[in-house]
Amino acid sequence: MSFKLPFFKTKQKSEKDTPTIEHVPRHVAIIMDGNGRWAKNRGLPRIAGHKEGMDVIKDIAKAASDSGVEILTLYAFSTENWKRPNAEVDFILRLPKEFLHHYLPDLMRHNVKIETIGNLDVLPEHTKEAVAYAKAQTENNDGLLLNFALNYGSRFEIMDAMKRVMQDVDALKLSIDALDESLFSKYLYTDGLTDPDLLIRTSGEQRLSNFLLWQSAYTEFWFTDVLWPDFNEDIFKNALHDYQQRKRRYGGI
């Protein structure tokens, strides 16, 4: 006859691989960095890294959806990325169309809803059209919210929100006394979304690069040296697992 010792629970490999649903971060944000270095390491042009990185997105979207993550926000193009050579910018801004051409049917099957944050107005027409089509097609899906940060910059977002707050005050639609954190949040691109619980950055850089400054006040950060094109489902699940060990205190004890 054998006795099970109740206080000695050996950790099964599967526990690490499959995070328990109750501690899964609702909103995961990722700074997908390192495409250029990945290509350079292989003697390829930087754009080859962006192309390779695009294919990783659908794997991580699937992993997020399977793990019970509700929102996956991916930093795809920042307001500072316009500083890059025109040819690289042009290539990156063609990727949404290419991504959706390849993966939209798959995303539909997985009930994924596509949204964006960022200033789309100044993007090329072909980028805007691809994004608008994907949003319309996936509008009624209620699975994972796959949220692309496109021409996104936090400072622009906050400043733009501030301008609209002031316009509403001017137009007597808003009184200054009524303005609080929760009302201000409604003027941001992320209106309606919960703040990110976990923020992942690849490629060894440990900075926010103007990503979700307001929203990440209490976000847990997770960094890896892995370059984005080498990122995969196992590494993503490691990040979720580490998140599950964190104690979030929000200033309390």
- Which residues of the shown chain bind Mg ion in the complex (CB under 5 A)? 33
210 is catalytic: no
Q: Which two structure tokens, joined as six digits, stand for 144?
A: 């994972």
How many C-alpha atoms does 137 have within 13 Å on its Cβ side?
Answer: 18
What is the smallest separation between the CB atom of 243 and Mg ion, expressed in angstroms?
A: 23
- Kindly state the number of chain residues that form the binding site for ligand IPE, as judged by CB under 6 A: 17
Q: Which among 59, 64, 72 has a CA at the least distance from the CA of 30?
A: 72
Q: Which of 154, 203, 215, 216 binds ligand IPE (CB under 6 A)?
A: 203
Calpha distance 60→64 (Å, rounded): 6
- The entry of Mg ion, ligand IPE, none near residue 209 (CB within 5 to 8 angstroms by kind) is ligand IPE
Q: Per-residue x/- mask for ligand IPE, residues 5 to 44, rule CB under 6 A?
A: --------------------------xxxxxxx-------
Question: Which is closer to ligand IPE, CB of 91 or CB of 243?
Answer: 91
33 is catalytic: yes
Q: What are phi and psi of 28, to 5 degrees?
A: -110, 130
Are 94 and 126 in contact, with CB atoms under 8 Å apart?
yes
The least CB distance from residue 81 to ligand IPE, in Å, is 5
Nearest to 217 by CA among 249, 186, 245: 249
Considering only residues 51 to 110 of the shown chain, the ones binding ligand IPE according to CB under 6 A are 75-78, 81, 92
- Is 212 near ligand IPE (CB under 6 A)? no
Strand partners, 199: 29, 221
Active-site residue set: 33, 81
